[in-house]
């Protein structure tokens, strides 16, 4: 079991200090975990030949460590594995904020940004724990029901670990922040809330007819609030 | 009116060539526009002090140009404006793919990745057109109903343009790609479709009671299919 001090504040470094809209910064470690745990993909940024490359990827968390994985042949993953700096960002959209002026239009969102140097996970047990975390983040219940990775699949999978020590969290909630002078304008203002929902499960055409949808799929709920 | 050859294929450069899962690459310019036009935020990657920084931001498109904006004081925007390389990525999640093995678990998604050098927009007319595109992407109908930016607001807003010449699009659809050997396993496989939906509009508490929600908010539909 991993023990984590979720009450410890996020320790800001110059680059993990929220500068724009600082009042929206959250400083509790629990806020970081809540944003990360609610997501399905993050956007991994690496520098390739001097230029940034941003690609979406699944992830998992165990305590203070974030895991990503991918094919051992992927260029962005190879770059991340080379001991260079990476950035990993998870964003949830919670609403479109309609203001009385176009200037104050905005979004309600929760966003976590993690900075660090990725570590290639080579220990067999840690790799399995990381893949379990990745699988359960994407598809809770699948690690205990689907076939687990065999030796060949493990060999084809690179697993990277990113420490959550340097991170920031920014959250916007609530109505628009209109200027006083605009409040009398005959313009509707408010929030159109957004959420991600799951539709009806679509069975694989190769499944035997009448195979029931298991509860961990049928009853899955997504995108919990912050 | 802008004339765009949407039938022209996306011209791949080394870094905009999809390497992993190349069969999922789309090569039509119209595919790129469809992914971009369906989104609310993208993830902008810049290099700051040698390290990647990835932040979510709204955007708009006019023809072959993508626009982002922000406070003139934002570090990531200042970095983007300095004539350096940026990467802008828009991702839509369409479903969780449950496979019979954990290895073949996946996501159905649409993703556009744009590479380029940002240009600071200084021309007044282009800045207004860019802000219109940004506003209408976030909140269709707001440009013609809300108060438009005044001189002071315009001065506080940096607008950047990114040419869509170098971009890639990747789309995954359909059921899991399980191994033949796993098809007889008693494991449910299929897709749990995901979509973003709008909830009931929440009026600003400062609105006069009974202010009707306008049709462009009430009837808004999100996240169209690719």
Average pLDDT taken over every residue of chain A: 90
Q: Return all residues near A74 (Cβ < 8 A) that are at least 6 apart.
A: A158, B19, B20
pLDDT at position A127 over 60: yes
Report the residue from B98, B157, B201 with minimal CB separation from A142: B98
CB B53 within 8 A of CB A44: no
Q: Convert the pLDDT of each residue in A8-38 to its tens digit.
A: 567 667 777 776 666 788 878 999 999 999 9
Distance from CA of B17 to the nearest CA of A (A): 11
Instruction: Report which of residues B72 and B135 the model is more confident about.
Output: B135
Q: Convert the pLDDT of each residue in B17-28 to its tens digit.
A: 776 666 788 878
Q: Convert the pLDDT of each residue in A194-212 to its tens digit.
A: 999 999 999 999 999 889 9
Kindly tell me the burial class for residue A89, based on how many C-beta atoms sit within 10 Å of its own C-beta (0-12, 13-18, 19 or more). Answer: buried
**Are B51 and A89 within 8 A, CB to CB?**
no
Q: How many CB atoms lie within 10 A of CB B213?
A: 17
**Are B98 and A147 within 8 A, CB to CB?**
no
Q: What is the dihedral of CA B209, B210, B216, B220, to 10 degrees?
A: 90
Distance separating alpha carbons of residues A130 and A145, to the nearest angstrom? 17
pTM of whole model > 0.90? yes
Mean pLDDT over residues A3-11, rounded? 51
Give me the CATH topology for the region A14-218.
Pnp Oxidase; Chain A (2.30.110)
Q: Convert the pLDDT of each residue in B33-49 to its tens digit.
A: 999 999 999 999 999 98
Q: Which residues on neighbouring strands pair with residue B43, listed in sequence order?
A: B56, B89
A52 three-state secondary structure: strand
Question: Cβ contacts (< 8 Å) between A212 and chain B: which residues?
Answer: 188
Overall CATH class of domain B14-196+213-218 = mainly beta
Question: Cβ contacts (< 8 Å) between B171 and chain A: which residues?
Answer: none
Question: Cβ contacts (< 8 Å) between A51 and chain B: which residues?
Answer: 15, 47, 85, 87, 115
- In chain A, domain spans: 14-218
pLDDT for A54 equals: 97
């Amino acid at each position: 079991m991993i023990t984590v001090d979720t009450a410890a504040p996020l320790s800001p470094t110059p680059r993990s200090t929220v500068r724009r809209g600082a009042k929206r910064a959250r400083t509790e470690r629990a806020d970081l975990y809540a944003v990360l745990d609610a997501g399905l993909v993050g956007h991994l940024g690496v520098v390739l030949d001097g230029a940034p490359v941003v690609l979406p990827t699944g992830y998992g968390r165990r305590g203070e460590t974030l895991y990503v994985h991918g094919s051992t042949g992927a260029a962005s993953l190879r770059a991340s594995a080379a001991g260079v700096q990476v950035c990993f960002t998870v964003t949830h959209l919670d609403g479109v904020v309609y203001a009385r002026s176009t200037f104050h239009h905005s979004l309600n969102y929760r966003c976590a940004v993690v900075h660090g140097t990725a570590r290639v996970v080579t220990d067999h047990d840690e790799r399995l724990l990381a893949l379990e975390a990745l699988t359960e983040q994407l598809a809770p219940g699948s690690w205990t029901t689907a076939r687990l990775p065999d030796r060949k699949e493990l060999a084809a999978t690179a697993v990277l670990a990113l420490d959550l020590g340097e991170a920031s969290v920014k959250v916007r909630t609530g109505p628009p922040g209109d200027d006083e002078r605009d409040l009398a304008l005959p313009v509707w203002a408010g929030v159109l809330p957004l959420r991600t929902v799951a539709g009806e499960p679509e069975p694989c055409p190769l499944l035997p007819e009448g195979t029931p949808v298991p509860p961990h799929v049928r009853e899955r709920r997504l995108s919990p609030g912050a």
